[in-house]
Amino acid sequence: MTDKLRLGVNIDHVATVRNARGGDNPDPVRAALMAQEAGADGITAHLREDRRHIRDADMAGLKAALRVPLNFEMAATPEMQRIALDTRPHAVCLVPEKREERTTEGGLEVARQAGVLGEFIAPLRAAGARVSLFIAADRDQVEAAHRIGAPVVELHAGAYADAWAEGRWDDRDRELKRLTEAAAYGHGLGLEIHVGHGLTYDSVGPIAALREVRELNIGHFIIGEAIFRGLPDAIAEMRRCMDAARVGGA
Ligand SMILES: CC(=O)[C@@H](O)[C@H](O)COP(=O)(O)O
Ligand SMILES: NCC(=O)COP(=O)(O)O
């Protein structure tokens, strides 16, 4: 197993700030280029159905401007499938969406929608996209993702990150165990394992130490830190936390 742990920087919340006032500033494509220069291994952006942050033109701009891989997060809808097929990103990550949620609350229900999702990902895979499913760290969901032919799963780290942030240490340890077991199980099936959502400098270490994990996608915290220390430094510090855990980990 290669040891390189990739960092995908999610730039959605640059667009959140832009959209608060309308207009063009700050530009998420500019942030993505800066992240690329600062060592991001990829850029992640989530084109939500309600366009609350990233917009269609951002996706096109990212695809045109970047030389690192673009990971296009989206709901499994016909509209998004059409946009992804037009955009031709390196990767497509299917995410569950609810209009009323503040952020992505849960993982994609793959086990109960295996037939539909299997048909949905087929044209994306045929077009050359690396398809990933954003799922809970749950054995049934991991198994279903493998069964329908997804090459990658991204395990939802939100419950782990929330427990860490709120000092609920027993919950944190239980969630870390779930992520650890799901990563090992998925890796054993031949899936590439990614983890994302809510990770910070504090919480990233135990996840980065998991040898089965190949990529982390981190956005909200990095963009917040960038206000205080600048985007390149915020990314460099996340990279340092990941590398330190990788070297020191199991
Ligand atoms: C799937 C995921 O975890 C990210 O794309 C995240 O959802 C982006 O931020 P929002 O949930 O705030 O849109
Ligand atoms: N898929 C998770 C992601 O892209 C980043 O999530 P967050 O760090 O913004 O919570």
**Using a 6 Å cutoff on CB, does residue 94 contact ligand 2?**
no
Question: Would the pLDDT of 250 be above 80?
Answer: no
CA-to-CA dists, residue 21 to 31, 48, 57, 69, 222, angstroms: 17, 19, 17, 29, 21
**Dihedral sign (CA 220, 222, 225, 226):** negative
Please give the tally of structural domains in the chain. Answer: 1
pLDDT at residue 100, as a whole number: 83
Could you tell me if residue 156 is inside a domain? yes
Q: Which residue is associated with the tokens 């749950």? A: 138
pLDDT of residue 101: 86
Q: Which atom of ligand 1 is nearest to the CA of 73?
A: 5
CA of 90 to the centre of ligand 2 (A): 18
pTM attached to this predicted model: 0.96
Residue 249, pLDDT score: 60
242 pLDDT band, cuts 50/70/90, is very high
* Residue 1 domain-assigned (yes or no): no
Q: Is the CB of 200 under 6 A from ligand 2?
A: no
Measured CA to CA, the distance from residue 83 to residue 59 in angstroms comes to 9
Domain presence at residue 194: yes
Q: Within a domain: residue 56?
A: yes
Q: What percent of the chain has pLDDT over 90?
A: 93
CB of residue 44 inside a 6 A radius of ligand 2:
yes
pLDDT tens digit sequence for 131-177: 999 999 999 999 999 999 999 999 999 999 999 999 999 999 999 99
Burial (CB count <10 Å: 0-12, 13-18, 19+), residue 30: middle
Using the 8-state DSSP alphabet, how is residue 69 labeled? P
Closest residue by CA, ligand 2 atom 1: 196
pLDDT at 1: 47
Which domain, by its residues, includes 225?
6-248
Task: Kindly tell me if the per-residue pLDDT of 5 is higher than 70.
Answer: yes
Averaged pLDDT for residues 185-190: 98
ipTM more than 0.90? yes
Most ligand 1 atoms within 8 A of CB, residue of 19, 52, 55, 197 to mutate? 197
pLDDT higher at 98 or 29: 29
198 assigned ligand-binding residue: yes
| Other CB atoms within 10 Å distance of the CB of residue 132 | 27
Evaluate: CB of 220 within 6 angstroms of ligand 2: yes
End-to-end CA separation in angstroms for the chain? 14
- The CATH number linked to 91 is 3.20.20.70
Best residue among 6, 9, 12 to mutate for probing ligand 2, ranked by most atoms within 8 Å of CB: 12
Query: Would 15 be classed as within a structural domain?
Result: yes
Q: Average pLDDT of 182-211?
A: 98
249 annotated among ligand-binding-site residues: no
The pLDDT of 67-73, averaged and rounded, is 98
Q: Is residue 93 part of a domain?
A: yes
Q: What is the DSSP letter of 24?
A: S
In a domain, 145, yes or no: yes
According to the annotation, is 106 in a ligand binding site?
Answer: no
**How confident is the model over 71-119, as pLDDT tens digits?**
999 999 999 999 999 999 999 999 999 888 888 889 999 999 999 999 9
**Stretch 27-53: mean pLDDT:** 97
Let me know if residue 55 belongs to a domain.
yes
What gap in Å lies between CA 16 and CA 58, rounded to an integer? Answer: 12
Taking all residues of the chain, what is their mean pLDDT, rounded to a whole number? 96
- pLDDT, position 241: 98
Spatial distance between the Cα atoms of 95 and 105, rounded to a whole number of angstroms: 10
Asked whether 61 and 43 are in contact (CB, 8 A), the reply is no
CB-ligand 2 contact for 18 (6 Å cutoff): no
Per-residue confidence (pLDDT) for residue 14, from 0 to 100: 98
Collect all residues with Cβ–Cβ distance below 8 Å to 158 and sequence separation of at least 6. 103, 104, 105, 197, 198
- Residue 229 pairs in a beta bridge with none
